[in-house]
Amino acid sequence: MASQNEIVVRFAGEGGQGVVTAAEMLARAATGVGFHALTFATFPSQILGGPTWTQARVAKETVLSPGDSVDILVAFNDEAYQEHRTDVRDGGVILLDPSVNPDNGDQSHRCIHVPFDDLAKETGESRAANMVVMGGLSKLINMPLEYFKDFVSERFAGRDSIIEANHKALDLGLNQLKDEQAISDLGAPIPPDYKQIFIKGNEALSIGAVHAGIEFYFGYPISPATPILVFMEKNLLGEGKFAYQASSEIEAITGIVGAGFSGKKSMTATSGPGFTLMGEGIGLAWMAEIPCVVVDVQRGGPATGLPTKTEQSDLLTAISPAHGDAKIPVIAAGTVEECFYAAVHAFNWAETYQGPVIILSEHSLAERAQNIRVPELSETPVQNRITYQGNNGYLRYESKEISPFPIPGNPGSYVANGSEHDIYGDTTHLAKYHIHMTERRFGKLALLENAPFESDNPASKIALMPWGGSKGSVLEAYNILRNQNVDIAWYYTMFINPLAPDLLKALKEKDLVIVPELNYQGQFASLLRSQGINAEAITQYTGLPFKSSFLVERINELVGKYKKDMVVG
Amino acid sequence: MSGKNPEYDFLWCPGCGDFGVRRAMEFAMQDWNIERETPMTHNVVVAGIGCSGNTVHLLEGEQPYGFHGIHGRSLPLALGVKMAREELNVVVVAGDGDFLSIGMEHIGPQAARNLNICAVVMDNGIYGLTKGQSSPTTLENTVTSSTPFGKMESPVHPLDLYLTLGVSYIASGYSSKPRDLAKLITKGMMHDGFSIVHVSSPCTTYNDTYEILKGSRAKGTEGTAYDIPENHDPTDKDAARDLIARGGVPLGVVYENTTRPSLGQRLAKVRENNQAKDAAALLNSFSI
């Protein structure tokens, strides 16, 4: 029996068959006993039905990506089997609904029929098909059934009949596969010695906002950002707090700008289509110097695009969402953990430079559930607004420095203005004020330039620099390349705009900077090139995340080509 | 040039109705301050884009806070200002173009929420600042710079629209009577819910309607503006509908519903009955 450190299980079927919760359940149960796990989910934009699949990767060490090759496929229908069987590695197992006839020619996989639904019905709980699957999996991956039973007991504590039915389902599933050989043996987990949480990207981001001191949330439902709205409406409670559903993204952005003017830490979250609508409002926040945070959980675009697929194609829009001379600070989260910190930093940045800050997340990150180290709140400082404490007659825009912020209801009344304004905030067309205010607005960005970045093997002249949610897959590829003795450096930051001057300096010294990103144009690479860096993108636009094996191949090609060119040159 | 700012060089045309509305705004905010015993800085004037929006820069005397935002979005901007600090008196000033064309989508949601703000809409039936294009309240067949063959659309009937959308306080006023108008605005500010004071505020350059509103003794014409009869019951929605159907420009409170809770009142109940969790507790709820 092969012993391995990890296992990848994919669940495929139709929405409503329990596919969505299956990967999460496996990952939860596994992390509960000390394994590491990460999930991936993709589903159609409809309430019921449609091809859906999820994946869980369970390992003894930290998991960086959803995994390239599938060890076990659970196919709930024929379409799922046909679509996904080629992703299953040789020697892998496919669990099939009895209605599905495996191809006679499928010699490279072990196909096993499991009557999920019939066995579930036997338990008296027809929704327990998932647990039948888990029972079978426990045999295949040699994970004690008790892990799952304990998980069920905890999850449904106090609801004994449900626990009983699900325990029975687990037994039935295991019994069904009792004569099958395990596919691998993860062995005993090595539980981390720190406190962990199991959480999705959108949830981590929302809690980050709460830690940062969010007081006002206003948002319009849109995939894949809706869970942030739902979270806020449920949790952003208490005196002086406001969380509410807007009637449009235009309403949402102008609402949070109004709240920011009133002195509150405010945020909205959306995806591409809504973000486009917010452009003018973001420009208003820049112009009137109002702190606020806008989250763009990217999906495929343009227009309605691919609502439930992942892409990193809003970067250029995020930096320039508005017309005119404006450059909006952008923080792009790369992992579930970074979703939490990105939210805290975004609020801190907004207060520091008094303007709008964009957080980029993306579908695969938003829906990814993972075990992470619980953020250390006491070590995550929060920046609050510097408020004006003087008398009336304040000229808020007089200097070119950041100026204390007057709070309505207190002395210091002024006019915040989306039109170009003078030192009173009154509308003007005088060149001297447009020059003064433009320089004032851009000058403040310098306050954000001390952001940290990661680097590894910096001596190499060729660097790898991903951004956003591709971080995990690219880091995995980087580790493989380094093990292959490929001489390449690693750079990464979630502070995309403005980039830290030290990072820019280091990248400018490289002969080549390779940027894997999920869009057609190579947006980040083009941005780096515009700043004098020789960047080349590895692009993918499938709606799915990178596979690290694909990246290893492409990076090796680029490195090889570059070295050849150097010799010829 | 304004009282506070020697370099401010925006001008309303001589005779512009907005002068009267500005005066009425100043009276109303002073009245509100006396009533609520608050300083002027408790008032926030949220302005739309157009001639009317410049009211925020031209207010005289003690200055309230102001936010001169982007075209059509004064209502959601005001929502943010208000729901962030409910103790503030938040007043929108906008024109018929800003409020009823690009901004019309925002009236319904505020009415449905019964957001506790007051909107003062200065209706001159034209886009003045951009030099005379047709607005939603421009009459059918009117020739303007953007309707060279006459306007081919029916005009919007603002009061009818507000009533249909469920605005809970609707008043109609006239810029030439700033004292009367101030009373309507003050009442709107006091109203715990969404209030709109719709003001006929003529544009002397592109759509001078003074004579139509007042009538002309010389020509023997009657004005379209008239005082709402004292026996009108503004709490009666049918009566309000009948009044609006009479046409013309009624002056006074058209409709008033004080029985609906405002958004703030509803949220206060939610806050009473639900406890917030801090970040540590929230993180804890995801513990492995």
Structural domain boundaries in chain A: 6-176, 198-379, 386-448, 454-568
Structure confidence at residue B149 (pLDDT): 98
Q: Residue A27: closest CA among chain B residues belongs to which residue?
A: B288
Q: Do A284 and B70 touch (CB under 8 A)?
A: yes
Q: Which of A199, A208, A392 sits opposite B286 (nearest CB)?
A: A199
Question: In the predicted model, what is the mean pLDDT of chain B?
Answer: 96
Question: Which strand (E) or helix (H) includes residue A492?
Answer: strand A489-492
Structure confidence at residue B1 (pLDDT): 61
**Spatial CA neighbour of B262 closest among B153, B98, B110, B97:** B110
Put simply, whether B265 touches A (Cβ < 8 Å) is no
Residue B140 is assigned to a structural domain of this protein: yes
C-alpha dihedral (A477, A478, A480, A485), degrees to nearest 10? 150
The end-to-end CA distance of chain A, in Å, is: 51
> What is the C-alpha separation between A553 and A226, in angstroms, rounded?
36
Class level of CATH domain A454-568: alpha beta
Q: Which of B42, B88, B283 sits opposite A374 (nearest CB)?
A: B283
> What is the C-alpha separation between A532 and A512, in angstroms, rounded?
11
Closest CA–CA distance from residue B249 to any residue of chain A (Å): 31
Both tokens of residue A553? 């191949």
Closest CA–CA distance from residue A186 to any residue of chain B (Å): 20
Put simply, whether B270 touches A (Cβ < 8 Å) is yes
Residue B284 is assigned to a structural domain of this protein: no
CA distances for A322 relative to A286, A420, A496, angstroms: 9, 15, 18
**What are the φ/ψ torsions at residue B270 (nearest 5 degrees)?**
-60, -45
- Mutation pick from B33, B36, B57 vs chain A, by most beta carbons of A within 10 Å, is B57
Kindly state the average pLDDT of the residues B274-280: 93
Which residues have CB under 8 Å from A483's CB, separation 6+? none
In B52-81, the residues whose Cβ lies within 8 Å of chain A are 54, 56-57, 62-70, 73, 76-81
**Spatial CA neighbour of B111 closest among B271, B269, B257:** B257
Q: Which of B5, B69, B81 sits opposite A262 (nearest CB)?
A: B81
Q: Do B44 and A408 touch (CB under 8 A)?
A: yes
The end-to-end CA distance of chain B, in Å, is: 65
Task: Tell me whether strands A489-492 and A454-456 are parallel, antiparallel or unpaired.
Answer: antiparallel
Closest CA–CA distance from residue A538 to any residue of chain B (Å): 36
Structure confidence at residue A44 (pLDDT): 76
Sites in chain A below the pLDDT cut of 50? 1-3
Both tokens of residue A301? 């675009």
Q: Do B76 and A374 touch (CB under 8 A)?
A: no
Give the 3-state secondary structure of residue A216: strand
Q: Residue A151: closest CA among chain B residues belongs to which residue?
A: B288
Which chain A residues touch B286 with a CB distance below 8 Å?
Answer: 197-199, 203
Q: How many CA atoms lie within 13 A of B195 on its CB side?
A: 28
Both tokens of residue A63? 């998991």
Which chain A residues touch B11 with a CB distance below 8 Å?
Answer: none
* Torsion sign across C-alpha atoms A346, A351, A352, A353: positive
Q: Do A197 and B56 touch (CB under 8 A)?
A: no
> What is the C-alpha separation between A380 and A377, in angstroms, rounded?
5
Q: Residue A241: closest CA among chain B residues belongs to which residue?
A: B84
The CATH number fitting domain A6-176, selected from 2.60.40.10, 3.40.920.10, 3.10.20.30, 3.60.21.10: 3.40.920.10
Question: Do B121 and B158 meet the contact criterion of CB atoms below 8 Å apart?
Answer: yes
Q: Which of B80, B87, B109 sits opposite A259 (nearest CB)?
A: B80
Which chain B residues touch A239 with a CB distance below 8 Å?
Answer: 271
> What is the C-alpha separation between A270 and A358, in angstroms, rounded?
11
Amino acid in the structure at residue B118: C
Q: Residue A290: closest CA among chain B residues belongs to which residue?
A: B67
Closest CA–CA distance from residue B259 to any residue of chain A (Å): 23
| pLDDT > 90 in chain B, percent | 95
- Cis amide bond preceding B178, omega within 30: no
**Owner of token pair 């659970």:** A74
Structure confidence at residue A569 (pLDDT): 56
* pLDDT greater at residue B240 or residue A106: B240
Burial class (CB in 10 A: 0-12, 13-18, 19+), B81: buried
- Mutation pick from B44, B77, B102, B116 vs chain A, by most beta carbons of A within 10 Å, is B77
Q: Do B67 and A250 touch (CB under 8 A)?
A: no
CA distances for B94 relative to A62, A131, A244, B198, angstroms: 57, 60, 25, 10
Q: Do B280 and A377 touch (CB under 8 A)?
A: yes
**Owner of token pair 């990460």:** A38
Task: List residues bridging with A517 in a β-sheet.
Answer: A539
Q: Which of B8, B57, B76 sits opposite A255 (nearest CB)?
A: B76
> What is the C-alpha separation between A464 and A488, in angstroms, rounded?
7
Put simply, whether B258 touches A (Cβ < 8 Å) is no
Proportion of chain B in helix, strand, coil states, percent, rounded to 5: 40, 20, 45
Residue B283 is assigned to a structural domain of this protein: no
Closest CA–CA distance from residue B1 to any residue of chain A (Å): 11
In B196-235, the residues whose Cβ lies within 8 Å of chain A are none
Closest CA–CA distance from residue B64 to any residue of chain A (Å): 6
Structure confidence at residue B88 (pLDDT): 98
Which chain B residues touch A210 with a CB distance below 8 Å?
Answer: 278-279, 282
Burial class (CB in 10 A: 0-12, 13-18, 19+), B274: exposed
> What is the C-alpha separation between B49 and B102, in angstroms, rounded?
11
Task: Tell me whether strands B221-222 and B215-216 are parallel, antiparallel or unpaired.
Answer: antiparallel
**Is pLDDT of B256 > 50?**
yes
**Owner of token pair 């009344």:** A413
Structure confidence at residue A4 (pLDDT): 74
**What are the φ/ψ torsions at residue A269 (nearest 5 degrees)?**
-130, 140
Task: List residues bridging with B173 in a β-sheet.
Answer: B199
**Owner of token pair 């002969």:** A511
Same CATH topology for A198-379 and A454-568: the answer is yes
Q: Do B270 and A237 touch (CB under 8 A)?
A: yes
Model pLDDT for residues B169-200, shown as the tens digit of each residue: 999 999 999 999 999 999 999 999 999 999 99
Proportion of chain A in helix, strand, coil states, percent, rounded to 5: 40, 20, 40
Q: Do B85 and A260 touch (CB under 8 A)?
A: no
Which chain B residues touch A35 with a CB distance below 8 Å?
Answer: none
Q: What's the structural domain count of chain B?
A: 1
Q: Do B77 and A197 touch (CB under 8 A)?
A: no
Question: Do B165 and B244 meet the contact criterion of CB atoms below 8 Å apart?
Answer: no
Structure confidence at residue A125 (pLDDT): 86
**Is pLDDT of B238 > 50?**
yes
CA distances for A115 relative to A26, A80, A96, B166, angstroms: 19, 16, 8, 56
Q: For residue A239, count other CB atoms closer than 10 A to its CB.
A: 9
Task: Tell me whether strands A495-497 and A330-332 are parallel, antiparallel or unpaired.
Answer: antiparallel
Q: Which of B62, B109, B283 sits opposite A251 (nearest CB)?
A: B109
Q: Residue B33: closest CA among chain A residues belongs to which residue?
A: A409
Structure confidence at residue B22 (pLDDT): 97
Structure confidence at residue A2 (pLDDT): 45
Which residues have CB under 8 Å from A532's CB, separation 6+? A508
Q: Do A414 and B69 touch (CB under 8 A)?
A: no
Closest CA–CA distance from residue B245 to any residue of chain A (Å): 30
Q: Do B275 and A375 touch (CB under 8 A)?
A: no
Question: Do B257 and B195 meet the contact criterion of CB atoms below 8 Å apart?
Answer: no
**Alpha-helical regions (H) of A320-470:** 336-353, 363-366, 431-443
Structure confidence at residue A264 (pLDDT): 98
Q: Residue A249: closest CA among chain B residues belongs to which residue?
A: B76
Q: Do B271 and A207 touch (CB under 8 A)?
A: no
**Owner of token pair 């009949």:** A161
Q: Which of A31, A258, A375 sits opposite B283 (nearest CB)?
A: A375
> Which CATH number goes with the domain that contains B159?
3.40.50.970
ipTM above 0.85 for this complex: yes
Structure confidence at residue A1 (pLDDT): 41
Question: Do B55 and B106 meet the contact criterion of CB atoms below 8 Å apart?
Answer: no
**Alpha-helical regions (H) of A123-263:** 129-140, 145-155, 160-176, 201-212, 226-235, 249-261
| Domain A198-379 coded CATH 3.40.50.970 | yes
Question: Do A28 and A52 meet the contact criterion of CB atoms below 8 Å apart?
Answer: no
Which chain A residues touch B42 with a CB distance below 8 Å?
Answer: 408-409
Structural domain range at position B255: 18-260
Q: Which of A237, A257, A283 sits opposite B276 (nearest CB)?
A: A237
Closest CA–CA distance from residue A441 to any residue of chain B (Å): 17
Q: Do B283 and A377 touch (CB under 8 A)?
A: yes
> What is the C-alpha separation between B101 and B111, in angstroms, rounded?
17
Closest CA–CA distance from residue B112 to any residue of chain A (Å): 11
In B85-144, the residues whose Cβ lies within 8 Å of chain A are 85, 87-88, 105-106, 108-109
Q: At what angle do helices A160-176 and A129-140 cross, to 10 degrees?
A: 50
Which one-letter DSSP state was computed for residue A499? P
Question: Do A12 and A83 meet the contact criterion of CB atoms below 8 Å apart?
Answer: yes
Which one-letter DSSP state was computed for residue A528? H
- Mutation pick from A38, A147, A251, A368 vs chain B, by most beta carbons of B within 10 Å, is A251
